Amino acid sequence: MEQKHGILLLNKPKGMSSAFAVGRLKKFGQKKIGHAGTLDPMATGLLIVLLGEATKISGYLLENGEKTYSGTLELGKITDTWDAEGKILTESDYSFVTDAMLENAVKNWLGASVQEVPPYSAAKHNGQALYKLAREGKETPVKTKEIYISHADIQWVNLPCMRFRVTCSSGSYIRSLAHSLGMRLGCGAMLTELTREYSHPFHLQDAITLEELQENPEILNEKLISLEKGLPDWRVIELCEQEVKAVKNGNPITATDKNFTENEKVFLRYQGNLLALAEGKILEKKNSWQILRGLVTL
């Protein structure tokens, strides 16, 4: 199959790394490929796969994009990875925990907060992933990041387990939410299941499985999503023929659009073909579209 350019929504199975899942698609002739937003091997659900020129929008897809997860946690256990895949470090009594305590703990997730990054994560320290340091038995530094939780609720409780759904800012660690809840209650907790249901602007219900793709490779053509739909908040600016050469050479062009806004990011297109990602800048006192990334004609 020839190299495709666009976005494919994949329903990643449990037990498979995001990188391995993406690697399976290389067997379909997709050599230029990547993904936006890693899912841990234990997690299932929506993985945004980027094919061809779509790999160039990866960083922009993750900007200010909310994600929704559902998952389960188990009280009374703390592991080194903060999930069920890790080594159990402590086991504690959880019998004193009430539904009201759980509800208050989940409410405490809401809003802006500073979250501790799991010691087993892809976050970097001096250029090396924390999980590599941890696996080598080396001390991992405590890292934190700012996150925002816009929605959190409990779906059911069957102690020691609880199922929840949460909508959070991109880059949030759900393992950290489970761990912090356990620490707040005083009994510890570990994440046992996780499914990504939404990653702006896409839903899990629109994703396909690797099995479906294996059985019918042509479904890739049917399910491929354009770059523009991946960034629905970006306007598409239509170019005239005289502007095309400048854009292909990476040069800024004058913005004649009446709705021009400085720092706005847009697609530049000519006769249906995307040519570049650009950003509004005032250059030499002129409203201009400055090229961020050139695109091979799609």
What amino acid positions are annotated as catalytic residues? 40
Give the amino acid at 217. Answer: P
Partnered with residue 199 across adjacent β-strands are 67, 202
**Who's near 94: CB < 8 A, 6+ residues apart?**
75, 76, 159, 160, 185, 187
* DSSP conformation letters of 168-203: E-TT--HHHHHHHHHHHHTS-EEEEEEEEEEETTEE
**DSSP assignment, residue 4?**
P
Q: Which two tokens stand for residue 22?
A: 């993406």
Give the amino acid at 177. Answer: L
Among 63, 67, 87, 62, smallest CA distance to 77 is for 87
Q: How would you classify the pairing of strands 235-238 and 265-270?
A: parallel
**DSSP assignment, residue 249?**
T
Question: Exposed, middle or buried, 184 (CB in 10 Å: 0-12/13-18/19+)?
Answer: middle
The CA distance from 61 to 46, in Å, is 14
Cα dihedral sign, 156-159-163-169:
positive
Partnered with residue 193 across adjacent β-strands are 72
Q: Which two tokens stand for residue 30?
A: 């997709």
Give the amino acid at 268. Answer: L
* CA–centroid distance for 172 within its chain: 9
